[in-house]
Amino acid sequence: MNKDKRYNGWANYETWNVALWFGNNERLYNCARDYRRDNGKFKAGTVKDFVIDLLPDGTPDFQDMGKAACYKKVRWGEIADAFNEF
């Protein structure tokens, strides 16, 4: 059985959670949209750095896990694709 089942259409819960916060929080959404407008398309590495800069302790749902654990399973390429649609 595959441990990494898709979650609400996303690669996994952790990826969905990051996308959810940026898609549903006006401040975070506007930061991602403005960054893309000023810097071009996100790539997996740039989106990871961007998210960690804005939410260094994780999303509010993950803050008790610590940065290393909360972002470990995030599929950054999938997040980059989503942010490039903002």
φ and ψ of 67, to 5 deg: -60, -45
Residue 6 in domain = no
Residue 53 in domain = yes
Residue 69 in domain = yes
Residue 1 in domain = no
Residue 4 in domain = no
Residue 29 in domain = yes
Give the domain range for residue 20: 13-83
Residue 40 in domain = yes
Question: What distance in Å separates the CA atoms of residue 30 and residue 28, rounded to the nearest whole number?
Answer: 5
Residue 7 in domain = no
* Number of structural domains the chain divides into: 1
Query: What tens-digit pLDDT sequence spans the chain (86 residues)?
Result: 355 578 999 999 999 999 999 999 999 999 999 999 999 999 999 999 999 999 998 898 887 776 668 899 999 999 999 999 98
